[in-house]
Amino acid sequence: MSYVTYVFQTYFGYTRPHAEKLMMQVHLEGRAVVSRGPRELMEQHTEALQAYGLWATFQKDQ
């Protein structure tokens, strides 16, 4: 799980506490919203997370 925290810190620039909070949300709930923005940027983030070996998807806000 520390790898996920590392990725969130490295790629998104999140603080360790914020990255750990998101990682725990993924661990306990199976998913977390780690970023919001324009579709093109979310596609880029999704591909980057997948390149790190993480399972990531994006969807339109409800």
pLDDT in tens, 10-42: 999 999 999 999 999 999 999 999 999 999 999
Enter the pTM of the model: 0.88
CB 45 within 8 A of CB 58: yes
Residue-wise DSSP of 32-48 = -------HHHHHHHHHH
Name the residue among 12, 2, 15 with its Cα closest to residue 33: 12
